[in-house]
Amino acid sequence: QVQLQESGPGLVKPSDTLSLTCAVSDYSISSTNWWGWIRQPPGKGLEWIGYIYYSGNTYYNPSLKSRVTMSVDTSKNQFSLKLSSVTAVDTAVYFCARRATTSSCFDDWGQGTLVTVSA
Amino acid sequence: SYVLSQPPSVSVAPGQTARITCGGNNIGSKTVHWYQQKPGQAPVLVVYDDSDRPSGIPERFSGSNSGNTATLTITRVEGGDEADYCCQVWDSTSGQYVFGTGTKVTVL
């Protein structure tokens, strides 16, 4: 059973860059899966941010594309998210998740980490 | 962009059937997935590809999709089913994964 674990600062200042990492265990990140980031503002619904393949290919939500960068480190079996120029609206619980191999669903998720944007 | 609409809340008595709808323009032409999310926890996939269940998900959970509405049905509802439920599709037109607004299921 794959395990995903997010890590990173819980507080980021406005205009700074949010940086998170997702460590994947009990499963190779080099398998035929895309690895994604999804966020959920407090009391609101889920929003897909984007995902990355082990080769480094990425695909981002068009509404966030200008501020998002994702990367993968196969040697550490982890992938990362950077979101630049954050504001209060970027305050959310950030989840990393695995997209299923043969379906467009996300079949395994990390527990999520709350990132608050505040001075 | 593509919008998925869900009722904010559904209430159901234990042992009865809960039906949660997910409305979208011609959603029947898309593949729908459903997630269960309890407070403070990550979403859990309960139905994928319209009507398939991941291993470990009870047969009480089922899905259907036709026309402009997809439906998640929970039969013989239990207290442990109390949670938020959210639908999701891949919208090729806008090039993004879209999640529904979410429905809170309350077990009376």
Model confidence pLDDT, tens digit, residues A45-82: 999 999 999 999 999 999 999 999 999 999 999 999 99
CA distance A75 to chain B (A): 26
> What per-residue confidence (pLDDT) applies to B59?
97
Q: What Cα–Cα distance (Å) separates residue B86 from each residue in A42, B52, B79, B104?
A: 15, 16, 18, 9
Asked if the Cβ–Cβ distance from A105 to B45 is below 8 Å, we say yes
CA atoms within 13 A on the CB side of A39: 21
Asked if the Cβ–Cβ distance from B43 to A47 is below 8 Å, we say no
> What per-residue confidence (pLDDT) applies to A1?
87
Chain A interface disruption, residue of B89, B96, B98, B104, most A CBs within 10 A: B96
**What does each of the 108 residues of chain B score in pLDDT, given as a tens digit?**
899 999 999 999 999 999 999 999 999 999 999 999 999 999 999 999 999 999 999 999 999 999 999 999 999 999 999 999 999 999 999 999 999 999 999 999
Residues contacting A94, CB < 8 A, separation 6+: A6, A18, A20, A37, A38, A39, A49, A81, A112, A113, A114, A115
> What per-residue confidence (pLDDT) applies to A64?
96
> What per-residue confidence (pLDDT) applies to B38?
97
* Residues B58 and B47: beta-carbon distance below 8 Å: no
Is A79 exposed, middle or buried (CB count within 10 Å of its CB: 0-12, 13-18, 19+)? Answer: buried
d(CA B69, CA B77): 22
Asked if the Cβ–Cβ distance from A107 to B48 is below 8 Å, we say yes
Q: Which of A35, A39, A58, A59 is nearest to A48 (CA)?
A: A39
Could you tell me the two tokens for A29?
């990140």
The stretch A76-89 carries a mean pLDDT of 98
Residue of chain B whose Cα is closest to the Cα of A47: B99
